[in-house]
Amino acid sequence: MWGVSRRTIQRSIQSGKLSISSDGKIDPSEMLRVFGDASNKKEGGAGAPVSEPLAPPIAPPIAPGEPSSAEAALSAEVKALRAALAAKDELLAAKDRHIEDMSLSLRLLVAPISQSQPVPPPEKQRKSLWQHFLVWSSKT
């Protein structure tokens, strides 16, 4: 596939240029890293110059009103992020309303009693039996 002899691969492994996995297999990404693209090696062997430029492929022209797939993906992501942001804002507003309700409830619980409500008189403490005897004995 790469157009490289077995002996060249063995020398690359022994010199440390090419690494193998623990099960003794060579990963294709290692072959690509050391020997380059496999399709380029079929024509002229290991030392053949690369005839194709290494520039990224150019996308086909797109009609002016039609978004590209990358633009469509980005606009979908923007819509999803806007929806998530709206949901987050709604949760924050609900949290703020809940805090206001709880704060109002707390203020009502600790509010002083208004003067319009009569305050019940304090209860008289009942004397114990011993207190009655002590008071009786001190009078006599």
pLDDT (tens digit per residue) in 94-114:
999 999 988 888 888 876 665
Q: What is the pLDDT of residue 89?
A: 93
Q: What is the pLDDT of residue 117?
A: 63
Q: What is the pLDDT of residue 42?
A: 47
Structure tokens at 118: 């009569």
Q: What is the pLDDT of residue 85?
A: 92
Q: pLDDT tens across 35-89, in order?
A: 877 765 444 444 554 455 555 566 566 566 666 788 888 999 999 999 999 999 9
Q: What is the pTM of this model?
A: 0.33
Q: Where are the domains of the chain?
A: 6-43, 67-110
Among 38, 40, 41, CA closest to 52: 40
Q: Tell me the torsion sign for CA atoms 102, 104, 105, 109.
A: positive
